[in-house]
Amino acid sequence: MTAPTPVHYLSTLSFPDWWLDRLRARHPGLTVTQIHAASAADVPDEVWRRTEILHTGSVFPESAEAAPQLRWVQLDTSGADHLKGTSAWDLPVPLTSIGGISPVPMAEYVMMMLLGLAHRLPRAIEVQHGGVWPSLEERWNTLMPRRLRGATVGVVGYGRIGQEIGRLAGQFGMTVLGLKRGRGTRAGEFFGSAATDAAQAELYTPDELHAFLGRCDYLVVTCPLTEETRGMIDAAALDALKDGAMVVNVSRGGIVDENALRAGLRSGRVAGAALDVFEEEPLPDGHFWWREPGVLLTPHVAGFSPDYEEQTLELVGTNVERYLAGRELVNLVDRAHGY
């Protein structure tokens, strides 16, 4: 009997040995290779030629001809916007994301920032760094918290992450609004599941953006970056918010107009912001966001998950099983929609 042809899996990442060993044990017919690569040139030509499954963040063969056996690319990112306009986007193979790994930590991050903004954490940090105990009048006027209970939070991008944010916000007694491309669910299967006890959110579509924003005491942006969402939260959108609303952005740089947001903060129309993503990353030394009053800033960490390796192994293992069985993969990237 002829032995089955091995399926060659290549990781250009840096998973530990135990991770690779467990993937091999789960799929004995899989030949697992890992090359920690910064560019396509770091992968030998013969490895590219035999690779059937590629697991990568941003390293791709220079052309389809360089990897003639390639049949599927598993991305190490939740989004795929970084591939738009590159040769990787045009590869004639399906792309899958790691969406579903980080909704819980991202939602917890958002709630941390909502609480921090509501309880005037940017001002409290300034007081701490100043080293001077403020007067009772100053504390009363600048450190008085705002309510979350009874306030309205609007979530732009009400998918898995947005629904988990809605679930937690509902526990704080907030009214939850969700804005998504369609009021139905997107076709396709996804890793993990959306929160089953999410707050009952009132849903809006993008053509209702300004009506949606007009109800928001807090705005959370967590949608993918696409041609439709690029620049969505511009000066006009920020002006449509309730006066004194607060903004949290955990999506991608380019969705929120940063100059317009800064102008809103300076004018007082926007009372505070928490930013994890930026148009330019890494954020340069001396950039205005580093020291902008009223802003909480983190360096693109909201999606970090303490269970990343275990969850990624489960996702990849599930998708390898589906691939070998000829079934549809989970987390397929829809190139037409850009995510």
* Residues involved in catalysis: 252, 281, 300
Please tell me the distance from the alpha carbon of residue 225 to that of residue 176, in angstroms, as a whole number.
Answer: 22
Q: What is the Cα–Cα distance from 118 to 211, expressed in whole angstroms? A: 23
- Which H/E stretch holds residue 11? strand 7-11
Please answer whether residues 81 and 224 qualify as being in contact, where contact means their C-beta atoms are separated by less than 8 angstroms: yes
Residue 271 to residue 266: CA distance in whole angstroms: 9
What would the DSSP string read from start to end of 152-200?
EEEEES-SHHHHHHHHHHHHTT-EEEEE-S-SSPPSS--SS---TT---
Distance CA 144, CA 13 (A): 47
Joined tokens for residue 82? 């970084």
CA distance 144 to 26: 55
Nearest 5°: CA angle at 36, between 9 and 63? 60
Q: What is the length of the chain?
A: 339
Identify which of 101, 98, 245, 106 has the alpha carbon closest to the alpha carbon of residue 167. 106
Q: From CA 273, how far away is CA 122, in angstroms rounded?
A: 9
